[in-house]
Amino acid sequence: MPAEALKCKECQAEFELGASYVCDRCFGPLEVSYDHSGLDDPSELRRKIQAGPPSIWRYIDFLPFDRRPRTGLDAGFTPLIRSERLAERLGVGEVWVKNDAANPTHSFKDRVVNVAVAKARELGFDVVACASTGNLANAVAAHAAAAGLDSYVFVPSDLEEQKILATGVYGTKLVAVRGNYDDVNRLCIELSAEHPWAFVNVNLRPYYAEGSKTLAFEVAEQLGFELPDRVVCPVASGSLFTKIARGFEEWLDLGILAGSLPSFHGAQAEGCSPVAQAYEAGHEICRPVRPNTIAKSLAIGNPADGVFALDVARRTEGSIDSVTDEEIVDGIRLLAETTGIFTETAGGVTTAVLAKLAERGDIGADDRVVLYITGDGLKTLDAVRGIVSTYEVEPALDSFNETVPVSGGERV
């Protein structure tokens, strides 16, 4: 298979393809290294991809398996929608919305878990686990159930009720930790040394992260094997942001795509914005912060891949911005009113940052922009409770006419 080793992102040391996530020489993070020299020419690869299954497994040549694994629940092949109304509202040339809420558990986390659970089974694990701010919890519980594996899911105790219910229903062992995500993650790192479990975002993190590349592959394919000019994407740990860039780079290197890497614009909530703060200050590293935001799925105060996200933003002439909780709610409403897509708070962050970029002229009338929406609004209903109004009337025509504004021309 093309995957040949785990490689340290810092010192480039190589290790066998096992359940490991940190370099034992310099303690840098590990990622999967590939040798694609044996693949077909670009035109043949495009035909093979288009003939593949309607899931992430159509990109099997670029994932860490020698053949398509047997899986009970598959992710990917979600809609890429051109929104002329959102583009017109913002004064942007083209806006394409990649709606990854259309996955099995309604977030992009299905992609990374699809890969991680398949790798866990291949490596012989019978228990999977994770630290999560909600979406990953949903995905791990569901994919473990479909695969017949036991699962443990660790979340902050103040997580949104919708995400708690949408995790526990699959029969997982759901553990609420009194603390924020960074506290939960620390506990899971300790547990991974004590129990022979596959923690998808700890000891299986190099494989798990590979699933995010499929968001680049899919967008490029859906654009007719072309690149956008700009990408606007949420940043939590920074892994999604960097892996989408890696996906585009892999296809550029192989000649499947032509051109140059899009400008990458990261989106964070002001109440948890260590990467945006580092970008604005010109720092090379991210200083940890204590999260305080309604965007709990992005509330990672000590982002593992923050330094790599900074590198992607800077070398593509992009940016990393933050927005307030009020702007997040406005972003949710803007996306819903112009596209018919109801996003969770993370998508509100991303949409609000797109609006900020357009307002200050960083994105213009000639740009083709892809906006990544990573989760469904039904997961974070509390965020929009204060913005929805209802007209209450009696069951009589006069009551309706007196109470409800009417549009659409003259009354008959």
| Number of other CB atoms surrounding residue 400 within 10 Å | 13
56's CB contacts (< 8 A; 6+ apart) are: 63, 74, 75, 76, 77, 111, 114, 115, 211, 214
Burial class (CB in 10 A: 0-12, 13-18, 19+), 132: buried
Give me 189's structure tokens: 């790192």
Bridge partners (DSSP) listed for residue 370:
96, 231
What CA–CA distance (Å, rounded) separates 369 from 306?
23
pLDDT in the model for residue 257 = 98
Q: What is the largest CA-CA distance in the chain?
A: 79
Low-confidence ranges of the chain (pLDDT < 50): none
Burial class (CB in 10 A: 0-12, 13-18, 19+), 296: buried
Asked if 115 and 232 count as a contact pair (C-beta separation under 8 A), the reply is: no
355's CB contacts (< 8 A; 6+ apart) are: 90, 330, 331, 334
Asked if 303 and 235 count as a contact pair (C-beta separation under 8 A), the reply is: yes
pLDDT in the model for residue 183 = 95
What CA–CA distance (Å, rounded) separates 154 from 184?
7
pLDDT in the model for residue 409 = 61
pLDDT in the model for residue 251 = 98
* Buried-exposed string 227-258: b where 16+ CB fall within 10 A, e elsewhere: bbbbbbbbbbbbbbbbbbbbbbebbbebebbe
pLDDT in the model for residue 1 = 74
Asked if 177 and 153 count as a contact pair (C-beta separation under 8 A), the reply is: no
The CA distances from residue 287 to 238, 275, 292, in Å, are 14, 8, 15
Domains defined along the chain, listed by start: 80-106+211-387 (3.40.50.1100)
pLDDT in the model for residue 248 = 98
Cα-Cα end-to-end distance for the chain: 69
pTM for the structure as a whole: 0.94
Give me 51's structure tokens: 């003939």
What CA–CA distance (Å, rounded) separates 356 from 25?
42
pLDDT in the model for residue 59 = 98
pLDDT in the model for residue 65 = 96
Q: Report helix, strand or coil for 369.
A: strand
Asked if 299 and 291 count as a contact pair (C-beta separation under 8 A), the reply is: yes
